[in-house]
Amino acid sequence: MRRTNKLRLRPEKEQEKALFSLCEMSAVLWNRINYIRRQAFFENKFDWNEGVRELYEEFKPILGSATAQQIIRKNDRAWRSFFSLSKLKKEGGLPPHVKKISPPGYWKDRNSNRRKLMTIIRNDCYRIEEENGKKWLVLPKGLKIKITGEIRWRGKQGSLEIFYDDLSGKWYAHESVEVNQQGHTIFPKKAFVDLGVVNIITAWIEGERRAVAFSGKSLLSDWWYWTKKISEYQSIAMKVNGKKTTRRIRKLYRKRQLRFRHAINTIIHRFVELCYEKKVGEIIVGSVNGIRENNDNGRKINAMVHNFWSFGYIVERLKTTAENFGIQVEFVKELKTSSICPKCNSENVRKHKRLFKCFYCGFGAHRDVVGVINIARLSQTGGFNGVLAHPSVVRPRISRL
């Protein structure tokens, strides 16, 4: 399986000049080959080979043959991905979360109108040296740059992407690593998961008397705090220069996203770790694909569902983290799982806020617990399992500082 080591580069003054030059020319190569292919595509005469040899020969002395080759190949992959999605769209098989597909874009920041400074180093053209707790990245042309950051994954070395973050003014590198996949745990238990906004994860593990809910209230409160900050600065920016974005606003958007993702990563790791401790071999998740379609519940609820709740990111992190522990993840449709009584299958129910009440048999419980029980029933594990009506709640702490 492929994993990524994220590293911070700390170049000296002359080294930074060399990095700027390398990344600038890499962006020029990408933009030029992409321009040729975009023009050919819009004129319905796309040719994979057009301009490739000429650009490779032109940039080989500047970037080195390996780097020039890597950038061209990355552009090839981007276009192949675009054509694959276009084919799926024509066949009506486009994934529900993909709303729009476009040809590969340029390495250019629309806000600053500057090139995105990045490059790709082939796996055999760099190495990481470690000595006395310090690390260096050794690159072509005699560059040996000090780096910081945890080298979490060790295995077969893949390509290295170096990029400059214009907002923070810092250099970063992402190293692709191929590691041996951990064997699937032979644990017999299953865990059933209902994803939500108020409770990010509500789960029931087979054999447990009570479900567990990982609260998202503090996370949601934090998200609203930074959303209001962004709105305040957008209002000021509109009055001053007639724009909705500034460097400060872009930084606030990023800060909001990073805080959200850090909290989500913490919640998911704690949940998967709990599953491993309880000897869970498979996690079954209720899929909510399409929840955003035709969903209009007022301004505030819409903002939470459409902007705050990054379902794709949560699912991806859950799959990756579970894979690291050797636990499988499966998805089942959760249509009406929170609208049917798990005890008598009646739909004559009332849902008010987080509470669920069945008028036929009198069963009452927390709505998220009802959803988890019904997901378990959909997975053919038997009938009503007598789980307690309310979950134990785990509340992650989030600081606004």
What are the residue ranges of helices labelled H in 298-387?
299-303, 311-324, 367-378
CB-CB contact of 315 with 201 (8 Å): no
Of 373, 368, 376, 370, nearest to 393 by C-alpha is 368
Of 131, 165, 123, 115, nearest to 5 by C-alpha is 123
Of 17, 124, 16, 116, nearest to 66 by C-alpha is 124
183 secondary structure, DSSP code: P
Looking at residue 60, its amino acid is K
**Chunked in runs of 10, what are the mean pLDDT values of the chain (401 residues)?**
93 95 96 96 93 95 95 96 92 76 90 88 94 92 92 92 93 93 74 88 89 88 90 91 87 91 92 93 81 52 62 88 91 80 84 85 86 82 64 72 47
CA 363 to chain centre: 38
- pLDDT in the model for residue 307: 63
Its sign, for the CA torsion 320, 324, 330, 334, is negative
- pLDDT in the model for residue 401: 47
- pLDDT in the model for residue 208: 86
CB-CB contact of 159 with 301 (8 Å): no
CA 279 to chain centre: 27
- CATH numbers and ranges of domains, the chain: 2-178 (no CATH), 189-216+267-394 (3.30.420)
- pLDDT in the model for residue 371: 87
Of 200, 202, 227, nearest to 212 by C-alpha is 202
CB-CB contact of 356 with 349 (8 Å): yes
Q: What is the pTM of this model?
A: 0.82
